[in-house]
């Protein structure tokens, strides 16, 4: 199986488990930087509902290998990472995460990157599944992010399968995009159900209505999580196309 952007020489990278402060807590994170001297933009890599599994850290390696400071925070740091095999626990903890808390933790992650000696000051965000929704939320709620990629972020028109809003998700994310201030790249798989292409079209119309700067792409012969090479959903052809698009988008807006 071929993997886009796969790192073969890890001596070019420097990686650490770190913590950064955020609203009375220490947020666990995985930090990867290029070894070569220079000033680099940052990218916050936002995990799926399962938490920061090895694949998320590997995406951080791939971005650092392309000249970014990559930070993969664990947004479950306060409550403990759910077991990926326990679906009930995963969804319970995902839906319980407060949107306000997520934005604060991502804001502080961006500031942590900016405090690093080799940081250029510009910071992007890229999230997958629940992290895609959180990337859209972050870009629509904060001025700490300079470019954002929403990879198949679900539940953008309602809080849960049964609720339009909840205490932790008081506003549908699609209703926040009038506040979007940075370029956005929306990634949808044509075979996905959450977000469906119809959800994607609704988001696209809302972005157009508010005259936002964005790219929107539906990847053919691909469903949910088609970039996740550790899952059966992986689609090699679409994953390679997405990786090229990611590098072009961040290269344009962060470098």
**Six token digits for residue 127:** 């999230």
pLDDT at res. 32: 98
- pLDDT at position 91, please? 96
Which pLDDT value is given to residue 38?
Answer: 96
The total number of residues shown for the chain amounts to 255
The phi and psi torsions of 27 (rounded to 5 degrees) equal -95, 120
The alpha carbon of residue 101 and the mean position of all alpha carbons in its chain are separated, in whole angstroms, by 16
The secondary structure of the chain in percent helix, strand, coil, rounded to multiples of 5, reads 35, 25, 40
pLDDT at 183: 98
pLDDT in tens, 144-185: 999 999 999 999 999 999 999 999 999 999 999 999 999 999
pLDDT (0 to 100) of residue 245? 98
- The tokens describing 24, both together, are 């009375």
- Residue 212 is predicted with a pLDDT of 98
In sequence order, what are the beta bridge partners of 127? 46, 150
Distances (CA, A) of 63 to 69, 100, 165: 8, 27, 34
Is-contact 62 6, C-beta < 8 A?
yes
Say what the pLDDT of residue 216 is: 98
Q: Which residue ranges in the chain fall short of pLDDT 50?
A: none
Please give the structure tokens belonging to residue 226: 């088609």
* Confidence at residue 174, expressed as pLDDT on a 0 to 100 scale: 98
CA gap 23, 101 in Å, rounded: 8
Burial class (CB in 10 A: 0-12, 13-18, 19+), 121: exposed
Prior bond of 134 cis (ω within 30°): no
**The pLDDT of residue 35:** 97
Alpha-carbon span 25 to 122, nearest angstrom: 24
The number of CA neighbours under 13 Å toward the Cβ of 26 is: 5
Q: 12-254: what CATH class?
A: alpha beta
Instruction: List the structure tokens of 123.
Output: 């910071």
């Amino acid at each position: 199986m071929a993997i886009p952007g796969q790192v073969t020489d890890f001596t070019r990278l420097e990686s650490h488990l770190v913590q950064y402060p955020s609203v009375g807590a220490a947020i666990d994170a995985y930090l990867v930087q290029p070894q070569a001297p220079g000033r680099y933009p940052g990218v916050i890599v936002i995990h799926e509902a399962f938490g920061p599994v090895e694949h998320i850290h590997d995406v951080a390696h791939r971005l650092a290998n392309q000249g970014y400071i990559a930070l993969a925070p664990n947004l479950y740091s306060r409550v403990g990472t759910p077991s990926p095999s326990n679906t009930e626990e995963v969804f319970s903890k995902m839906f319980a995460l407060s949107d306000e808390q997520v934005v604060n933790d991502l804001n502080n992650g961006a500031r942590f990157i900016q405090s690093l000696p080799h940081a250029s000051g510009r910071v992007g965000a890229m999230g997958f599944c629940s992290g895609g929704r959180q990337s859209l939320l972050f870009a629509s709620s904060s001025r700490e992010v300079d470019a954002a990629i929403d990879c198949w972020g679900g539940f953008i028109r309602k809080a849960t399968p049964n609720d339009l809003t909840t205490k932790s998700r008081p506003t549908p994310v699609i209703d926040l995009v009038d506040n979007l201030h940075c370029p956005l790249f929306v990634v949808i798989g044509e075979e996905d159900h959450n977000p469906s292409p119809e959800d994607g079209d609704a988001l696209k119309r809302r972005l157009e209505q508010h005259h936002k700067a964005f790219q929107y792409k539906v990847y053919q012969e691909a469903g949910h999580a088609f970039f996740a090479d550790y899952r059966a959903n992986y689609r090699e052809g679409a994953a390679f196309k997405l990786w090229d698009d990611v590098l072009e988008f961040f290269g344009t807006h962060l470098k």
